[in-house]
């Protein structure tokens, strides 16, 4: 018999949460004055999503939010991270807010507070208003200023009751999956545009942070959530593989944390992309605007990345875990090969490696000393199905969560200031280009009836949230 894992106990003030995003759960895409976002357009374009599925209804959280908050309370969550639909609040991405849109989020926040759950607001989770994309999208400088205006609107509306704010979620995906590989909205495949988008997302973060601080009480916390990659060489002693690690680390991590945390882009990044761009779109004062002091940093982690040097003339499928496309999300990195990392895998094909989360936390503990950290996304997709009694048993997800939460606790013991964890995701939902094929939720959703059923992992996580202790589980 395998030995049970020793119970792990967290600090009393540690926050236990779950996360979602607006387009993935809300539905009601034509209600209350909301206009299309890039994800409405993309998902309605034939061939862009699995089965042509869209977020038109999603899991109808817009109408069922009270029940969903009651479910969170039953599970004992202390915090809930959700995103605001820019198109619901400011339909054209310009001008005054639509109050009925803001009222939905006011009601949601009030419901959470009444249930004793701390709301954490993410302003942007990939759903740019389509009219701003029609004007050029994130590769256009003006979009950053439009974001700052939007941030001020939402900050003024909710800042008296919401203390924890996140400007952008995973800007890497917005820039490089949206504008380089095209597997995410808006589906463009323009390497230079993707680098411009990355810079303007950074600028949006900086300008948005400043706008929030003007609009809100000083007690509130402003952060950003980065899906920073843990990049490892196929052969640690091979100089070509180590050079590949540097290149991908710059494109995955340095392009964002360089200007945000240090006020400068890595010189190695500028050199690696010099054949594509001279970065002249970085204007005087931009880096000062981006380099705003943060109150916290959000880290999203799922799986590590394994790379080696390669012949740039040889093209083939990339095992980088970011969807199938003839176009790379890694501009200037054609001489890098991606490899499947070893070990068990989730339904996304991603390897399960909690050591990567510990490594990521400790990296940012060293690179941003004194900055509180939150794990703002971590979770796994599995092929969950109800049994004959209607129960959904997902022991693989329990094992995944135990391993990664134990890695968080180990990092805390090693001196990291990690203050909370947000499981991805609260509910099964629209999983972007994968449609409804991939289930990340701790709560099962029957898409025909929209009935919610907590999986066994939700009950396990509930116990952890209530006790601050990870229940022992047997290794496989």
Percent of the chain with pLDDT over 70: 97
Cβ–Cβ under 8 Å, residues 92 and 35? yes
**pLDDT band at residue 472 under the 50/70/90 scheme:** confident
At 319 the pLDDT is 81
- Burial state string for 451-462 with b = 16 or more CB within 10 A and e = fewer than 16: ebbbbbbbebbb
Out of 235-244, 310-319, 363-372, pick the least confident.
310-319
336-356 tens-digit pLDDT: 999 999 899 999 999 999 999
**pLDDT band at residue 476 under the 50/70/90 scheme:** very low
14-73 tens-digit pLDDT: 999 999 999 999 999 999 999 999 999 999 999 999 999 999 999 999 999 999 999 999
pLDDT mean over 150-171: 98
Q: Is 440 exposed, middle or buried (0-12, 13-18, 19+ CB in 10 A)?
A: buried
N-to-C CA span, the chain:
10
At 318 the pLDDT is 78
Measure the CA dihedral 46/63/80/441, to 10°: -50
Residue 2 above 60 pLDDT? no
Closest CA to 418 of 409, 427, 430, 429: 409
Q: Distance (Å, rounded) from C-alpha 1 to C-alpha 476? A: 10
Active-site annotation, residues: 170, 377
At 113 the pLDDT is 98
Residue 3 above 60 pLDDT? no
Q: Distance (Å, rounded) from C-alpha 411 to C-alpha 413? A: 5
pLDDT mean over 78-107: 97
Residue 317 above 70 pLDDT? no
At 6 the pLDDT is 55
Closest CA to 29 of 430, 443, 449: 430
Strands (E), 93-175: 118-124, 164-169
At 314 the pLDDT is 72
At 247 the pLDDT is 98
Residue 40 is classified by DSSP as H
The answer, as to whether pTM is greater than 0.95, is yes
Cβ–Cβ under 8 Å, residues 308 and 337? yes
**DSSP states of 193-260 as a string?**
HHHHHHHHHHHHHHHHHHHHHHHS-TT-EEEEEE----EEESSTT-HHHHHHHHHHHIIIIIHHHIII
pLDDT mean over 95-113: 97
pLDDT mean over 422-436: 98
SS3 120: strand
pLDDT mean over 200-225: 98
Maximum CA extent, the chain: 64
Neighbours of 424 (CB within 10 A): 22
185-200 tens-digit pLDDT: 999 999 999 999 999 9
Residue 316 above 90 pLDDT? no
**pLDDT band at residue 1 under the 50/70/90 scheme:** very low
At 474 the pLDDT is 53
* Dihedral sign computed on CA atoms, order 172, 410, 461, 162: negative
At 475 the pLDDT is 43
**What average pLDDT is seen over the chain?**
96
**What are all long-range contacts of 106-110, with beta carbons under 8 Å and residues at least 24 apart?**
106/157, 106/158, 107/65, 108/65, 108/69, 108/82, 109/158, 109/161, 109/162, 110/161
């Amino acid at each position: 018999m395998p030995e049970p894992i020793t119970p792990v106990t967290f600090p009393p003030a540690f926050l236990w949460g779950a996360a979602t995003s607006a387009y993935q759960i809300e539905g009601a895409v034509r209600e209350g004055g909301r206009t299309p976002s890039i994800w409405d357009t993309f998902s309605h374009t034939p061939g862009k999503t699995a089965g042509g599925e869209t977020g038109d209804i999603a899991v109808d959280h817009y109408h069922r939010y009270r029940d969903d908050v009651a479910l969170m309370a039953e599970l004992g969550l202390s915090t809930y991270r959700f995103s605001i639909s820019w198109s619901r609040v400011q339909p054209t991405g310009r001008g005054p807010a639509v109050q009925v849109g803001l009222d939905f989020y006011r009601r949601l926040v009030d419901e959470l507070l009444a249930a004793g759950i701390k709301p954490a607001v993410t302003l942007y989770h990939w759903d740019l208003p389509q009219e701003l994309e029609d004007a050029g999208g994130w590769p256009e400088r003006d979009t950053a200023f439009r974001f700052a205006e939007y941030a001020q609107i939402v900050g003024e509306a909710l800042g008296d009751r919401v203390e924890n704010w996140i400007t952008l979620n995973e800007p890497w995906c917005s820039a490089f999956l949206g504008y380089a590989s095209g597997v995410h909205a808006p589906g463009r495949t323009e390497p230079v545009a993707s680098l411009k988008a990355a810079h303007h997302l950074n600028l949006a973060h900086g300008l948005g942070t400043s706008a929030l601080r003007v609009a809100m009480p000083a007690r509130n916390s402003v952060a950003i959530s980065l899906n920073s990659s843990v990049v490892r060489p196929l052969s640690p002693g091979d100089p070509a593989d180590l050079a590949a690690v540097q290149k991908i680390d710059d494109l995955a991590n340095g392009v964002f944390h360089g200007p945000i945390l240090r006020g400068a882009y890595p010189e190695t990044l500028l050199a690696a992309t010099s054949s594509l761009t001279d970065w002249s779109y970085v204007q005087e004062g931009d880096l000062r605007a981006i380099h705003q002091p943060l109150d916290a940093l959000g880290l999203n982690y799922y799986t590590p990345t394994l790379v080696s040097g390669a012949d740039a003339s040889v093209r083939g499928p990339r095992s980088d875990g970011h969807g199938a496309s003839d176009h790379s999300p890694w501009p200037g990195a054609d001489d890098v090969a991606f490899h499947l990392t070893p070990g068990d895998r989730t339904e996304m094909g991603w390897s399960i490696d909690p050591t990567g989360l510990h490594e990521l936390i400790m990296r940012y503990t060293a690179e941003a000393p004194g900055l509180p950290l939150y794990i703002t996304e971590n979770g796994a997709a599995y092929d969950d199905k109800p049994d004959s009694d209607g129960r959904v048993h997902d022991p693989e997800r329990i094992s995944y969560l135990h391993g990664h939460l134990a890695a968080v606790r180990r990092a805390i013991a090693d001196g990291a200031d990690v203050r909370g964890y947000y499981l991805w995701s609260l509910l099964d939902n629209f999983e972007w280009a994968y449609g409804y094929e991939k289930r990340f939720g701790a709560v099962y959703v029957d898409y025909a009836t929209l009935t919610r059923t907590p999986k066994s992992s939700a009950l396990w996580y509930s116990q952890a949230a209530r006790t601050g202790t990870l229940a022992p589980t047997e290794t496989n």
